[in-house]
Structure 1
Amino acid sequence: MLTHLNLINFALADNLAVDIETGFNVLTGETGAGKSLLLDALSACLGERTDTNYVRYGSDKADITAVFSYQENSIEAAWLKQHEMNDESGEIHLRRVIFATGRSKAWINGRPSSLSELKEIGRLLVQLYSQHSQQQLLEPPYPRHWIDRYSNFAADAQTVRQAHQNWQKNIRLHQAAIDAQANRQQRMETLGLQLEELEEIMSMNYSEIEQEFDRLSHHEHIMQDCSYGLNALDDAEQNINQEIASIIRRIETHAGRSEQLGEIYNSMLNAQSELQDASANLRQFIDRQSFDPERMEQLNNQLEIFHRLARKYRTQPEVLTEQYQLWQQELEQLQQLEDPETLAEQVEQSHQAFLTQAQHLDQIRRDASGPLAEQLTEQVKILALPEAHFEFKFEALEQPSAEGLSAIQLLFTANKGIPAQPLARVASGGELSRIALVMQVMNAEKTDAEVLVFDEIDVGISGGTAEVVGRLLSGLAQHVQILCITHQAQVAAQSDQHLLVKKQQTDPASSTIIELNEDERVLELARMTGGVEINETTIQHAKQLRQLKFQPTL
């Protein structure tokens, strides 16, 4: 549930903090007051695209934070645990900073995050429905998506898409085998010769050979320098180890007189131990070294092989092993393409698997479409469309697709005795608004998100229809939290929390959001119904609208 929003230098907001309550929350205000301010800020916190227009004039950045509460066994809790972002407070803090340069940064519970992570958690928390959602009804895929979403067919649809993808992949492999048939054998012979030539160096490690050869090449200098070092450390008449021992004896006599001298004494002891170990190891290294001309000649020959092959295949000696593996993979792939008939069988098997899944999906969609159309019809009738009727029309596709076997159309009629026709052809703008609203409310009943945002979805309705919409949203708010921008007093009157957006003519201008008490709500409802002039009649009407909130729902 959304509990708090904080906006700093975001658009018209200077420093704005808003607490959001459970249930049905509405935002109202005059045109241009900035009613979309809260929703734009929320969208930014959910990872949506932003631009520099969101940064308040004269500021170098905008800072927005949205706070959500969640339950321990919720899907968002599982997401936070998976991404190691869970918080003992039981809250989710989403923060977005937008810079005037166009860049932005994001955090989830204080941890820097990517926009894709914001979007992932955002989809689990919030579902947004805009005033333009009615246009989605006219898009061909919408009826299919709506049936799948409302009827919980998403998993079946995904299975069909995967089966279709597998079928198409096998088709491409089969075609590749046919195309490669002509030059496959020649390429396989070439790869075989190349692999055979590199086989002798596969047991060798170029880096180790190069290092050992370098060490033998500089054997004399290494021994001279090591001997010099050992002599200075331990063998000379006045060597370093003796000098350090003498210094330690002198400091030891005073170590107890000063804490700092005590620390120095301990440091000297550690240094003495390290030098003694180094001297012993150096002596052991010198004793074990010997120059082997035959071994050096062997290493030189191996290096020559590496360099010769590297020149031949135009690469670096150290990557010959990687090249060998790449050629081996290519050869294995060509060998798999050896039998196009076997791949043809795989194409047929995957095709049949796809058809089985697609036929199942098509059938359950058809079975669900009838009751769903009846339910949609009954829901739309109460929005001043008493003769509304819906049907879903299934037409077989010429070629099956990843989405199934049939194209699905939503048919509609608003008049008794008139056959239902495609929605885009017969529905008016007002009818589309009401249909979109009902379909969104029905979808919202199925969503996992605990916060539903409706941005002026009641555009095109008024009067008693608006009252019904308000009751629909109020009933839905018994199960989820709703945040709604509205111009309809009948809708706003049904809310649990009423937020008023007001523009202040500061320099520069700013917007503020005020939570209204009951008396203030009545005055705002009167303004929404009566305009600028508020009189006793409009106030009484506003009070009556509020009283409807507490009457039994539909």
Structure 2
Amino acid sequence: MLTHLTLINFALADHLALDIEQGFNVLTGETGAGKSLLLDALSASLGERTDTNYVRYGAEKADISATFSYKNYSPEAEWLKEHELDDESEEIHLRRVIFATGRSKAWINGRPSSLSELKELGRLLVQLYSQHSQQQLLEPPYPKHWLDRYSNFYAPAQEVKTAYSVWQSTIRQHQAALDAQATRQQRIAALELQLEELEDIVQIDYKDIEQEFDRLSHHEHIMQDCAYSLNLLDEAEPNITQELSSLLRRIESHAGRSEQLSEIYNSLVNAQSEIEDATSNLRQFMDRQSFDPARMEELNSTLESFHRLARKYRTQPEQLKQDYAEWQAELDQLHQLEDPETLAEQVDLAHQQFLEKAKYLDQIRREAALPLAKQLTEQVKPLALPEAHFEFKFEPLEQPNAEGLSFIQLLFTANKGIPPQPLARVASGGELSRIALVMQVMNAEKTESEVLVFDEIDVGISGGTAEVVGRLLADLAQHVQLLCITHQAQVAAQSDQHLLVKKQQTDPASSTIVKLDEEQRIFELARMSGGVEINETTLQHAKQLRRLKFQHS
């Protein structure tokens, strides 16, 4: 969970350090106070896109740090272990610095990290739900995606996508075989001639014979230079070996008198050993060398063949072996494509495998749809929709696709006796916001993230409905940590920790976030309920909202 957040020169925050508690945390404040400050900073620390507006006016950079605790064997623990970023503290320290120039830097547990790594880890730590999420309900794929996510059908859905891709690939290969039927035989004949011509020569390594030919061509000079070198090293009077031995004796007599001379002596001993090895190897090399005119002629002939074929096929001699392999692979593929019937069988097999997986996915989706629609109905009814009813409608697709066999719609009615219709067609804006809220909470119940952020998702509700939403979130906070920006006193009253965002008229202006005690919470709830003027009536109403919280608990 999120335990601490520090903001330095971030937007309206000068220097702000905040401890976040487990459970249900709400942020409230007057319009323009900067309620999104904490969530913007949290998003930045998780690698989301930023801009220079986040840098406080007059500052060179903004600095955000977030600390999370985590459990062993959690997804984030496995991620840290995989990236060698775990430590004994069992905490995750994220830091992001945003410069006024537009650049930014990031760290995970003190190690510089890329934004992609920060995002990857961030998705495991935090899930964000915003007030704009209700627009997703109007998108045709949303019901299917929501059903799959809630029911954890990701794996079978991915298998269907993979099987569909394989099926389509075999279709394209089969069509290519049919289209290329006329020219294939000509290409096969040409490739077979080319391969036959190169078959023998590609067994020979061009660079090896080129080097051997070069050595034989310079045999006399090589032997002359080797003989001169061997004479100088070991046979002349005096020679290098003798001179070096004499030198060593002289230095050895003084090596004990100077550490530097001792090091020089050791270096010379090593040099003597190296020279002796080189002399021995040089003598062996000369003993093994012989000039073979027949071998030289053979090599010359082979090299001429390489160059002739390289000119013919417009390539380099050393490239012929790779060209041979590529032509052989092309010929093998053409022989496979030569039989469209074999490919047709592969198409049928891939199609059957896709249908098998798609039918299974369709079946489990249909089985999960009925209880899920019933659960959604029961969750939505308390939100001033007593006659709400949901159904999933499966319509077979004319052509199956990577998503499956059916187009899935979510049907809704808010009125008794009225048949359910597609949600986007019949739901009002207020109904959509309440439905979206419940669907998000249901999704949140299934997430592995320990921190859920709700950004004004209760817009469009009020009164008793807002109270029910508050209880819904409070129940959810029994299992995960919640951060919620809200304008609803009924929602804020259900929270475990109440954070107030206040704007201060400094120069330049700044915002701060303070944790409210119980008395301060009553005044803030009264302000949210009654506006600017706080009187005994609004205070009593605020106290009643808090009593409802404890009664519900």
Which TM-score applies when normalising by structure 2?
A: 0.92
SS of 1:550's equivalent in the other structure is helix
SS of 1:72's equivalent in the other structure is coil
SS of 2:73's equivalent in the other structure is coil
Q: CA deviation at 1:466?
A: 1.5
2:103, 2:432 → 1: CA distance? 39
Q: Name the counterpart of 1:144.
A: 144
1:302, 1:448 → 2: CA distance? 68
SS of 2:459's equivalent in the other structure is coil
Q: CA deviation at 1:103?
A: 4.5
Deviating runs (4+, > 6 A) in structure 1?
A: none
Q: CA deviation at 1:137?
A: 0.4
Q: Name the counterpart of 1:191.
A: 191
After superposition, the C-alpha distances for 1:468-490 in whole angstroms (9 at most, x for unaligned) are 11111111111111122222222
1:504, 1:308 → 2: CA distance? 86
Q: Could you tell me which amino acid in structure 1 is paired with residue 442 of structure 2?
A: M
Q: Could you tell me which amino acid in structure 2 is paired with residue 359 of structure 1?
A: K
Q: Name the counterpart of 1:216.
A: 216
Q: Name the counterpart of 1:315.
A: 315
Question: Which blocks of at least 5 consecutive residues in structure 2 are unaligned?
Answer: none
- Residues 191 and 421 (structure 1), Cα distance of their counterparts in 2 relative to 1, 3 Å cut: same
Q: Name the counterpart of 1:423.
A: 423
Kindly indicate whether residue 349 of structure 2 is the aligned counterpart of residue 349 of structure 1. Answer: yes
Q: CA deviation at 1:447?
A: 1.3
Deviation larger for 499-508 or 129-138: 499-508
- Residues 7 and 300 (structure 1), Cα distance of their counterparts in 2 relative to 1, 3 Å cut: farther
Deviation larger for 340-349 or 183-192: 340-349
Q: Name the counterpart of 2:501.
A: 501
Percentage of identical aligned residues: 80
Q: CA deviation at 1:441?
A: 0.5
Aligned ranges for residues 366-381 of structure 1 at < 5 Å? 366-381=366-381
Q: Could you tell me which amino acid in structure 2 is paired with residue 441 of structure 1?
A: V
Q: Could you tell me which amino acid in structure 2 is paired with residue 330 of structure 1?
A: E
Q: Name the counterpart of 1:443.
A: 443
Q: Could you tell me which amino acid in structure 2 is paired with residue 245 of structure 1?
A: S
- Residues 500 and 264 (structure 1), Cα distance of their counterparts in 2 relative to 1, 3 Å cut: farther
Q: Name the counterpart of 1:160.
A: 160
Equivalent residue pairs, number: 553
Q: CA deviation at 1:162?
A: 2.2
Deviation larger for 271-280 or 99-108: 99-108
2:286, 2:58 → 1: CA distance? 72
After superposition, the C-alpha distances for 1:95-136 in whole angstroms (9 at most, x for unaligned) are 444444544444444445444433333332222211110000
Q: Name the counterpart of 2:490.
A: 490
Aligned ranges for residues 200-211 of structure 1 at < 5 Å? 200-211=200-211
Aligned ranges for residues 502-521 of structure 1 at < 5 Å? 502-521=502-521
Aligned ranges for residues 151-300 of structure 1 at < 5 Å? 151-300=151-300
Q: Could you tell me which amino acid in structure 1 is paired with residue 395 of structure 2?
A: E
SS of 1:533's equivalent in the other structure is coil
Q: Could you tell me which amino acid in structure 1 is paired with residue 529 of structure 2?
A: T
- Residues 292 and 541 (structure 1), Cα distance of their counterparts in 2 relative to 1, 3 Å cut: farther
Q: Name the counterpart of 1:543.
A: 543
2:533, 2:512 → 1: CA distance? 23
SS of 2:180's equivalent in the other structure is helix
- Residues 219 and 111 (structure 1), Cα distance of their counterparts in 2 relative to 1, 3 Å cut: farther
SS of 1:301's equivalent in the other structure is helix
Question: Which blocks of at least 5 consecutive residues in structure 1 are unaligned?
Answer: none
SS of 1:383's equivalent in the other structure is coil
Kindly indicate whether residue 75 of structure 2 is the aligned counterpart of residue 71 of structure 1. Answer: no
2:514, 2:127 → 1: CA distance? 24
2:230, 2:523 → 1: CA distance? 96
Q: CA deviation at 1:342?
A: 2.1
1:321, 1:62 → 2: CA distance? 59
After superposition, the C-alpha distances for 1:331-359 in whole angstroms (9 at most, x for unaligned) are 11111112212222222232233223222
Deviation larger for 203-212 or 87-96: 87-96
Q: Could you tell me which amino acid in structure 2 is paired with residue 176 of structure 1?
A: A
- Residues 199 and 75 (structure 1), Cα distance of their counterparts in 2 relative to 1, 3 Å cut: same
Q: Name the counterpart of 1:92.
A: 92
Deviation larger for 334-343 or 533-542: 533-542
- Residues 309 and 53 (structure 1), Cα distance of their counterparts in 2 relative to 1, 3 Å cut: farther
1:368, 1:90 → 2: CA distance? 38
1:412, 1:28 → 2: CA distance? 33
Kindly indicate whether residue 335 of structure 2 is the aligned counterpart of residue 324 of structure 1. Answer: no
Kindly indicate whether residue 127 of structure 2 is the aligned counterpart of residue 127 of structure 1. Answer: yes
Q: CA deviation at 1:460?
A: 1.0
After superposition, the C-alpha distances for 1:373-399 in whole angstroms (9 at most, x for unaligned) are 221111111112222221222222221
Q: CA deviation at 1:14?
A: 4.2
Deviation larger for 531-540 or 25-34: 531-540
1:505, 1:216 → 2: CA distance? 91
Compute the RMSD of aligned alpha carbons.
Answer: 2.6
Q: Name the counterpart of 2:25.
A: 25
After superposition, the C-alpha distances for 1:193-221 in whole angstroms (9 at most, x for unaligned) are 12222212221222223333333334444
- Residues 417 and 202 (structure 1), Cα distance of their counterparts in 2 relative to 1, 3 Å cut: same
Q: Could you tell me which amino acid in structure 2 is paired with residue 118 of structure 1?
A: L
After superposition, the C-alpha distances for 1:40-72 in whole angstroms (9 at most, x for unaligned) are 333334343333443444555544443322222
1:63, 1:505 → 2: CA distance? 22
Q: Name the counterpart of 2:407.
A: 407
1:356, 1:2 → 2: CA distance? 44
After superposition, the C-alpha distances for 1:233-275 in whole angstroms (9 at most, x for unaligned) are 3334343333333333233223223333333332332232223
- Residues 250 and 204 (structure 1), Cα distance of their counterparts in 2 relative to 1, 3 Å cut: same
- Residues 533 and 394 (structure 1), Cα distance of their counterparts in 2 relative to 1, 3 Å cut: same
Q: Could you tell me which amino acid in structure 2 is paired with residue 211 of structure 1?
A: Q
2:223, 2:41 → 1: CA distance? 71
SS of 1:315's equivalent in the other structure is coil
SS of 1:290's equivalent in the other structure is coil
Q: Could you tell me which amino acid in structure 2 is paired with residue 410 of structure 1?
A: L
Kindly indicate whether residue 44 of structure 2 is the aligned counterpart of residue 34 of structure 1. Answer: no
Q: CA deviation at 1:9?
A: 4.1
1:293, 1:57 → 2: CA distance? 85
Q: Could you tell me which amino acid in structure 1 is paired with residue 215 of structure 2?
A: R
SS of 2:378's equivalent in the other structure is helix
1:198, 1:9 → 2: CA distance? 71
Deviation larger for 60-69 or 315-324: 60-69
Q: CA deviation at 1:458?
A: 0.9
1:302, 1:208 → 2: CA distance? 12
- Residues 300 and 49 (structure 1), Cα distance of their counterparts in 2 relative to 1, 3 Å cut: farther
Q: Name the counterpart of 1:389.
A: 389
